[in-house]
Chains A and B, each alone.
Chain A
Amino acid sequence: MAYQFDFAPVLQHSDLLLTGAAFTLALTAVGAVLGIGLGIVGALCRAWKISPFDRLFGLYVEVIRNTPFLVQLFFIFFGLPSLGVKMTEWHAAVLAMVINLGAYSTEIIRAGIQATPRGQIEAASSLALTRLQTFRHVVLRPALTRVWPALVSQVIIVMLGSSVCSQIAAEELTFAANFIQSRNFRAFETYFVTTAMYFVMALLIRQLLMRLGQRFIVGRPR
C-alpha cells in the first residue's frame, strides 16, 4: 500500500510554523534594511574611491562573498564568544544577515553608481546643487532605480538562506519545521507545508519590495 498522507499532525503545530515564519520575516526585514544601508555606504566608498575605506570594503566584500553563510554564522555564534563577544541567537542571526547582505549589496549598488555618467554630476554642480542634493537625486536614486530588481532578488536569497539560522537554535521557520518533524516524523508533510510557506513569503516580499521601489525610488511618472 502507498504512503498514507496525513497533514493533521503538522497543522496541529501551525502556531509554531506561524511564529517561525514571523521570526524569518522579522530577521529578513531588519537584515534587509541594515544590510542595504551598509551596502550604500560600501558602494559609495568603493565607487568614489574614498581612501582607506574603499580598500577595507573591498576586502570585506571579497571575504564575505567567498565564504559560506553557515560558516559566517558559526563564526559569530560559536567563535566570537572565545574573544568575549557573546550574543543571543537572534543577534547572531541578524548580524550574520546584515554582514552577508551588506557585502552583496555593496557590489550591486556600486554597479548602479558607476553607471551614472560623470557628466550628470558635473551638470548637478553647475546647477548649484549641494553635495547632499547631488548625492540624493543624481547619484543614489538613479543608481537604486537601475539595480532595484537585483537588490530585491538578493534580499529574497538571503531570506531563503536564513533557514540555516536554525543551526544555532534560532527559532525561525526551518527550525519550527525540524522541530515538528522530530516529534511526529511526518517529514514529507512537514517540509511540504514549509516549502509552500517559503514560496508564498518569497512571492509576497518580491511584490512588496517592487511596489515600495516603484513608489519611493523610481517615483511616480510626472
Chain B
Amino acid sequence: MTTTRRPFLRSLCALAAGLAASATLGLASAHADVLANVHKNGTLRVAVPQDFPPFGSVGTDLKPRGYDIDMANLIGKELGVKVELIPVTSTNRVPFLTTGKADLVISSLGKNAEREAVIDFSTAYAPFFNGVFGPTDVKLAQAGELAGKTVGVTRGAVEDLELTKIAPASTTIKRFEDNNATISAYLTGQVQFIATGNVVAAAVNDMTKLRRLDAKFLIKNSPCYVGIAKGETALTAKVNEIIAKAKQDGSLDAIAQRWLNAPLPKDL
C-alpha cells in the first residue's frame, strides 16, 4: 500500500512547497524591509530550537539555552535591539520564516536546494559534520590512513554508508546496533576510532573524561546557516557582517568552545 501512496504524497508535498514559495514571494514584495521593521519595533524575533542540544534546549531554569540562542543574542546585541526567542521544531522552522512570524531562523539549519528555493541563507555560523573521531595523540588526516585500523560506527547511519565507500579495504569497520554501543566501544577501547557527528562527540566529551574524542577528518559537511526571508538583502548583508565580525573578534569561537567543546573549524 505505502509504496504506491508515496509518489502521490510526494507530489502533494511538492505542490504545498510550491504554494508556500509563491506565497512567500508575494509576502516579501508586500512588506519590504524586515531590517527596518526590526529597528522600528526594537525587537528581533528569532526562531530557535529547544529540542536539539547543544544548539538549543531548555535549561534547569526553564529558559532556552544553547549555541543557537547565544548566536541569536549576539546578533540582537550587534543590532542594538531586544531579542524575542520563538521556540520551533525542525519541521515548522522554515514556515515560521516564510509566513513572517519570525525575522530570522537560527535553528541549526542546513542548506539544500529545496530550502534555497524558498528562503535565503547567511554565511555559515556553526560547524555541523560527520567525521571520524579518535584519541588526541593519534594522527589520522584522511580516510586512506585508516588502512589496518579499526573504526566503530552505528549500522545504517549516514557515517556507515559513507565510510564504507571511502575507507580502504583493509580497514575493519565494526558496526554496532546503536549510538550508545558505538560510543561504549570507543570509550572501553574496543575500537580505535569511531565515525559520528560532531554534536554527538561534543556531548560525549562533555559527559565523560574516560577517553577524549577529537575530530580527525571530515566525512560529510553540512554547516548551519541563519535563515532569512527571501529577498531581504539588507538584513542578509547585516547578518553576514555580524557573523564575519564575530569570527574575527573570537566571540563566535567562544560560543563554539562553550557548546561544542571544540574550536571553530578554520574553513567555516
Contact = CB atoms under 8 A, between A and B. Distances in A.
B96 to A, nearest CB: 33
The A contact surface, by secondary structure, is helix
Interface in B136-193: 152, 155-156, 160-161, 174-177, 181, 184-185, 188-190
Contacts of B184: 78
28 contacts: A1-B1, A1-B3, A2-B1, A3-B1, A3-B3, A77-B188, A77-B190, A78-B185, A78-B188, A78-B190, A81-B188, A81-B189, A81-B190, A82-B188, A86-B188, A86-B189, A86-B190, A166-B177, A167-B177, A168-B176, A168-B181, A169-B152, A169-B181, A175-B175, A178-B177, A182-B155, A182-B156, A182-B160
Given A167-B176, A169-B174, A1 B190 contact: no
B4 interface: yes
A178 B155 contact: yes
A4 B3 contact: yes
Contacts of A81: 188-190
Interface in A122-180: 166-169, 175, 178-179
B181 A1 contact: no
A186 B252 CA distance: 45
Contacts of B189: 81, 86
Interface residues of A, number: 19
Nearest to B156: A182
Interface string A1-36: 111100000000000000000000000000000000
Interface string B1-22: 1011000000000000000000
Given A167-B181, A168-B176, A179-B175, 4 more contacts: A3-B3, A78-B188, A169-B175, A182-B160
A89 interface: yes
A89 B174 contact: yes
Given A82-B188, A86-B190, A169 B3 contact: no
Contacts of A3: 1, 3
Nearest to A185: B156
